[in-house]
Structure 1
C-alpha cells in the first residue's frame, strides 16, 4: 500500500507548476494587449498626411516675386481671412492676415472703395487651395504672386508690389 501511494504522488502533476503556467499565460496575454493598444494609438496619432518634399525647381508659369528691396512702400492692412481649404476631407482651414505693399499712397483710396471686390478675389484664391499647395515656402510664394496678379488686374490708380503674411495658420 505504501508503494501505491508513492506511485500516485509521482504521476500527479505538481500543484505549484500548474499555477505558474497559468500566471505566465495571463502575463503574456496582458503584454500582448498592451503592445496592440500601443500600436493602435501610435497609428491613429501619427497618421497625419505626409507633406511632399520641397521642390527645387520653380514653376515657369508663375511670376517671380519681386526681390526684397531696402525700401518698403506704403502698406495697406487687410482684415483676417478664415477659409476652409479645398482638401478632399474638408478638415482643414486657413487663417491668414496680410498687408499689401502699394506702389503709391493714392492706391489706398481705391482699395478702400474696392474692398468687397478685393476681399472676394482673395477669398476665392484662398478657398481654392489645398494644404499641399500652401504647406511649403514655394507654395506660399506662389500664393503671394497669385494674389498680386489677381488684385492688380482690377486696380487702375496703381498696383500692388508685394503681399506680406503677418499671420498664416493652417489647422
Structure 2
C-alpha cells in the first residue's frame, strides 16, 4: 500500500513539473513572438510617420505652401513637383508557392530639380532597391490599404543613397499581379 501512495505522489509531481515546463515554453514563445513581430511593427510605424512628416515639411519648404500641409500625415497628400520614371520591372513575389509574380511601373516623386541628374546616374541602384523591397512582399501584401507602407519603405531605402535631394513620394502607374 505504501508503494502505491509513493507512486501516486511521484506521478503527481511529474504532472506538475511537466505542466510548469509547458507553461515556461509557452511563455518564452510568446515573449519572442511579441518582440520579433509586434514590437518591430510599432517601431516601423513610428519611423514611417516620421518620414511622412519629413516629406510634408520638405514640400512646404520647397513649394512655399501653408503650414496646414505639414499637419497631414498621409502620403496621399504629398504632391511632387518633379517625377523620375523607373523602368517597368517584373518581380517574383514571396508567396509560398513561388509561382506568383508582379509587373510594376513606378515613378519617384521629389521637388528638387537637381535630383533628376543624380537619379539618372543612380538608376540601376534605385531600381535594385525597389526590386529588393517588392520581392519581400506576398501577393496579399500588395493591396490598396498597404500601398502607402510599401511607398514609405521604398522612400526610406532610396533616400540614404541620394545627396542632392530627397524623395517625397512614389507613384505606381501600373501594377499587375499574376
Shorter-normalised TM-score: what interval? Answer: 0.5 to 0.7
After the TM superposition, which segments of 4 or more aligned residues of structure 1 sit over 4 Å from their partners?
Answer: none
Q: Which residue of 2 aligns with 1:88?
A: 96
Q: How does 1:21-36 map to 2 (within 5 A)?
A: none
1:120 aligned onto 2:128: yes
Unaligned runs of 5+ in 1: 1-58
TM-score between the two structures when normalised by the length of structure 1: 0.60
Correspondence for 1:101 among 84, 89, 109: 109
Superimposed CA distance per residue, residues 68-89 of structure 1 (whole angstroms, 9 cap, x where no aligned partner): 15x5311111110100101110
Distance (whole Å) between structure 1 residues aligned to residue 136 and residue 119 of structure 2? 23
Q: CA deviation at 1:116?
A: 1.4
Q: CA deviation at 1:66?
A: 3.1
**Bigger share in helix:** 2
Cα separation, partners in 2 of 1:113 and 1:94, compared to 1, 3 Å: same
**Equivalent pair of 2:108/2:167 in contact (CA under 8 Å):** yes
Residue 116 of structure 2 aligns to a residue whose secondary structure is helix
Q: CA deviation at 1:67?
A: 4.8
When Rg is computed on C-alpha atoms for both structures, the one with the higher figure is: 1
Q: Which residue of 1 aligns with 2:173?
A: 166
Unaligned runs of 5+ in 2: 1-40, 50-73
Distance (whole Å) between structure 1 residues aligned to residue 117 and residue 140 of structure 2? 36
TM-score between the two structures when normalised by the length of structure 2: 0.58
Q: How does 1:1-171 map to 2 (within 5 A)?
A: 60=42, 61-62=44-45, 63-64=48-49, 65-69=74-78, 72-134=80-142, 136-171=143-178
**Equivalent pair of 2:104/2:176 in contact (CA under 8 Å):** yes
Q: CA deviation at 1:123?
A: 0.9
Q: How many positions carry a matched residue from both structures?
A: 111
